[in-house]
Structure 1
Amino acid sequence: MALPESIPIRYSDEEAGYVTVRPIVRQTFRLDELLDMVLSVTGKDVARIRQILRSGTVVYHFYRYWWAGFEADEAELSAALTAFPDADAARAFFSDACATAVFESGGINPKPLLELARAAGSQRRMFRGQSFWERLLKIAESEKPGYQSYSYTYRADLYRLELNGRNVAEIVHAANHLAPRNLRSALRVLPGTARIVFVCPRLGNTRQPQTRK
């Protein structure tokens, strides 16, 4: 059976693990819109994507979506997925492309401690010629962050900078001397940060995140 071109969707808020009594909204998605949403949950795992399409439900950005589940032929689904980017470890880190820096804790299951957007990090302290963001990216360039993966949630490549005594001291110094007060307060997570993940959207990527309409 061919993949459907459009899929009637219903969705509602999902909070604290249960569906609320708020109204259910109905909308029609194109196939690529549904795949775009599912990819943010599964990555390019064809088996998992087929399972979710068959089950007819997924939770995305605090909303639960439902549709009439359908079987997806593996070959047809794989062909449809070629329209979406793949991870590419050969892509070099390019600081000008970075939009966000995610400060993560250590351990087997690292947790995000701070998600710093370029605009917030670029706020300048009075009488300083450089922003904290500019200094952070200079430090990152010198350290050459390693390629981690492609994120379908961010629509971006992720690069990981592991922190050590030397580079964390440089970042703390930059925070103390370049960041305005509100940003310095947010950067108090630095002592508990094990790594920084730089989120770098690919140039020319025009696909936008799914939002409610």
Structure 2
Amino acid sequence: MPLPETIPVRYSEEEAGYVSLRPVVRQTFGVHELLDMVLRVTGKDAARVRQILRSGTIAYHCHRYWWAAFETGETELAEALARFPDADPTRVFNESECVAVVFESGGVAAREIATIERSAASHRRWLRPRSLWDFLLATVRAAALKYHGYSYECSADVFCHDVGEEEAAKLEVEAERLAPRGLRHALRGLKAARRALFISPRSDKEARHASS
């Protein structure tokens, strides 16, 4: 059963699990565009993707989306999903490709503590010998970052570094010392971090190759 080329979609803001009374917006999605959004929620799990397409609705980024539910053939869906990148455990972390670091707490129900973007953290404060971004990269050069997988939400490969208590305490001190003023308040609480996720988007050439 072939996938439709275009899908009329309606969406509205969703508040605390309830659809708000704000206006419903109508838009036509291409099938690749709809699948891209679904993958950001499900990952490349064909069974879950089929279930959501069949249900005709998904919640994403504080919005609820609806479309006329449709069935998909396994072969056709597999071909469509093959146009999206796959995780690649053979990839090696490259500092120049990294655009952000996400710090999470420990435990089973890990929560995000802070996200540090390269664009903001690369600014060096007056009379400081290095930037916060320089410090973050220096801390992992001696460590072997583990490949964590591909994030469809970030459209990037993710590399993981486990953060110990002593390292987390130092991280909070250095963030206060090196971070630009606009970042400092958001970075308080880093001493609770137990995992750092380094976000590395693939090049435009690789992205085009995956979707071809």
State the shift of 1:174 in Å.
3.1
- Please tell me whether residue 91 in structure 1 is matched to residue 87 in structure 2: no
How far residue 176 of structure 1 moved from its aligned partner, in angstroms, is 4.4
| Counterpart code for 2:63 | Y
| Deviation of the 1:118 alpha carbon | 1.1
Give the AA of the match of 2:47: A
State the alpha-carbon separation in 1 of the partners of residues 5 and 186 from structure 2.
45
Partner of 2:113: 113
The structural deviation recorded for 1:144 is: 2.2
TM-score (norm 2): 0.91
Dislocated runs of 4+, deviation >6 Å: none
**Distance between the aligned counterparts of 1:117 and 1:138, measured in 2?**
16
**In the TM superposition, what are the counterparts of 1:1-213 in structure 2 within 5 Å?**
1-165=1-165, 167-168=167-168, 170-204=170-204
- Could you tell me how far apart the structure 2 residues matched to 1:8 and 1:98 are? 36
Q: Matched residue of 2:188: which SS?
A: helix
Q: What code does the residue aligned with 2:80 have?
A: A
Deviation for aligned residue 1:169: 5.2
Q: Unaligned stretches of 5+ in structure 2?
A: none
How far apart, in 2, do the equivalents of 1:32 and 1:183 lie?
36
Give the structure-1-normalised TM-score.
0.91
TM superposition shift of 1:36: 0.3
Q: Give the aligned residue type for 2:73.
A: D
Shift of 1:105: 0.5
Q: Summarize the Cα distance change of 1:24–1:142 in structure 2 as closer, same or farther, 3 Å threshold.
A: same
Q: Distance in 2 between matches of 1:32 and 1:200?
A: 22
Q: Percent identity?
A: 51
Instruction: Please say which of residues 79-88 and 182-191 is displaced more in the overlay.
Output: 182-191
CA distance in 2, matches of 1:51, 1:104: 30
Q: Which runs of 5+ in 1 are unaligned?
A: 208-213
Paired amino acid for 1:61: H
- Letter paired with 2:91: R
**Separation of aligned partners in 2, 1:200 and 1:56:** 32
Aligned to 2:147, the other structure's residue is in SS state strand
Mapped to 2, the partners of 1:206 and 1:88 lie a distance apart of 13
Alpha-carbon offset, residue 57 of structure 1: 0.3
Q: 1:182, CA displacement in angstroms?
A: 4.0
How many residues matched? 207
